[in-house]
Amino acid sequence: MTQAVEAAASRAVPSGAAVRLDGVSKAFGSLPALDDVSLRVEPGEFVCLLGASGCGKSTLLNLVAALDRPSAGTIDTAGRRVALMFQEPALFPWLTVTANIELALKTRGVPRAERRARSAELLASVHLAGFEKKRPHQLSGGMRQRVALARALALTIDTEGTGTLLLMDEPFGALDAMTRDLLHDELERIWRERNLSVLFVTHNVREAVRLGDRVVLLSSRPGRVVEEFPVPMDRPRRIDSTEVAALAATITDRLREEVGRHGA
């Protein structure tokens, strides 16, 4: 699809929240993982969901992606397409890097003739030009994660004008700091260009402040929304800037209080 058509399609995005959770709880047997979580992500908003490990972040994303059902409450994505990037790069091992991306483009209705160029563009944006013909096992963990990012971004191409919600589950946790910074920049660029709505899960406080319009703090066992922090700094932000560090310190204190309270 041409960029003009894509722009026209994105104008047809439905109104209302990109995703809205009302009173969502989830239990696994007798273990409560999430308790009465209410949360909205507005169209075009970048929300970071922050919490200690085991507090239910992946559970929440899986519910939003409709991979699992809540025990109580409702989740409404207003008919939007959902693109999900997992903690582990979920690539098809028998397909080349390019074929993995092209398959994602195909599922989003990108015509065959455009797929090669689109996939090359996406791979260049994650600094993987030259690795098109490799298979996942021939790449380092960090490179595989970059392919997974390119694939998730391919899944945000909106040929139907429904709008896309991008869900990311600690996507950069395993990367070295330099690669992670590069990918933050790329993700931010594409988020703005495509006006994506993003729900980004992390346990890294600085990363949440670097990327989010808003940081939503989850408590541990079971996960509940404890507090929300708007992030007022201009973009692009540097993860090592004093402003990012200062807000991250405030949020970390609040997180510690919460972890202390629950004895996690």
Binding region for ligand ADP (CB under 6 A): 28, 31, 33, 51, 53-59
Which pairs from 110-115 meet CB under 8 Å and 24+ separation?
Answer: 110/1, 110/157, 110/159, 111/1, 114/1
Site for Mg ion in 54-73 (CB under 5 A): 57-58
**Site membership for Mg ion, residue 204 (CB under 5 A):** no
Q: Pick one of Mg ion, ligand ADP, none as the site partner of residue 178 (Cβ within 5 to 8 A by kind).
A: none
Report how far residue 238's alpha carbon sits from residue 62's, in angstroms, rounded to the nearest whole number: 30
Residue 216 Cβ vs ligand ADP, minimum distance, rounded to whole Å? 13
Pick the closer one to ligand ADP by CB: 51 or 163. 51
Pick the closer one to Mg ion by CB: 33 or 101. 33
Residue 187 Cβ vs Mg ion, minimum distance, rounded to whole Å? 18
Residue 233 Cβ vs ligand ADP, minimum distance, rounded to whole Å? 26
Residue 215 Cβ vs ligand ADP, minimum distance, rounded to whole Å? 15
Burial class (CB in 10 A: 0-12, 13-18, 19+), 127: middle
Pick the closer one to ligand ADP by CB: 156 or 219. 219
**Most distant CA atoms of the chain, gap in Å:** 57
Residue closest to 188 by CA, chosen among 159, 168, 204: 168
Q: Pick one of ligand ADP, Mg ion, none as the site partner of residue 151 (Cβ within 5 to 8 A by kind).
A: none
Q: Measured between alpha carbons, how far apart are the two ends of the chain, in Å?
A: 49
Residue 153 Cβ vs ligand ADP, minimum distance, rounded to whole Å? 22
Q: Pick one of Mg ion, ligand ADP, none as the site partner of residue 184 (Cβ within 5 to 8 A by kind).
A: none
CA distance to 97, 104, 146, per residue, from 91 (Å) = 9, 10, 11
Q: Pick one of Mg ion, ligand ADP, none as the site partner of residue 108 (Cβ within 5 to 8 A by kind).
A: none
Pick the closer one to ligand ADP by CB: 34 or 190. 34
What would the two tokens of residue 233 be? 């700094």
Is residue 19 within 8 Å of residue 199, measured between CB atoms? yes
Chain residues in the site for Mg ion (CB under 5 A): 57-58
